[in-house]
């Protein structure tokens, strides 16, 4: 009888231990989801000037985007990191484009447009080359 009781008790202990592990594992996954969701919302919030106006008018908007991306960088895998790096480049392009386009009569305007277009093509090609 005592051997049988020991086996049942050890089985119950194993069951309780497994359920505690599963609860802890689920909590870790939920915490990671909450951190990723907060990072995603931070990136979306920092992109609101772009959604609203089509550009980043002020440097504080660019730095808000940069901070949000830095906060999100380690929470995601390599595929998302590549896209976040591209987003920083596009944010910088938008920020500088806003300043250049205020004065289209500037002699450097056409040179800047050609250089920026080429840079954007290179960024897109390098961001998607790892997929092929």
How much of the chain exceeds pLDDT 90, in percent? Answer: 24
Q: What is the pLDDT of residue 123?
A: 54
Confidence check: pLDDT of 94 > 70: yes
Q: Looking only at Cα atoms, what is the longest distance across the chain?
A: 97
**Residue pair 53/98 in contact by the 8 Å Cβ criterion:** no
| Beta carbons within 8 Å of 65's beta carbon, 6+ residues apart | 43, 46, 47, 56, 87, 88, 91
pTM over the 0.95 mark: no
Contacts of 75 (CB under 8 A, 6+ apart): 32, 35, 36, 39
Ranges 50-54, 92-96, 99-103, 110-114: which has the least confidence:
99-103
């Amino acid at each position: 009888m005592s051997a049988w009781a020991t086996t049942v008790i050890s089985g119950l202990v194993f069951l309780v231990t497994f359920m505690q592990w599963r609860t802890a594992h689920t909590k870790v996954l939920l915490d990671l989801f909450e951190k990723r969701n907060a990072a995603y919302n931070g990136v979306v919030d920092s992109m609101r000037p772009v959604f609203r106006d089509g550009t980043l008018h002020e440097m504080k908007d660019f730095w808000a985007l940069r901070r949000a991306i830095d906060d999100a960088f380690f929470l995601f895998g390599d595929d998302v990191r590549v896209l976040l790096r591209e987003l920083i480049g596009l944010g910088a392009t938008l920020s500088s484009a806003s300043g250049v386009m205020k004065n289209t009569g500037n002699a450097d305007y056409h040179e800047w447009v050609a250089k920026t277009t080429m840079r954007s093509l290179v960024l897109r090609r390098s961001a998607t080359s790892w997929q092929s």
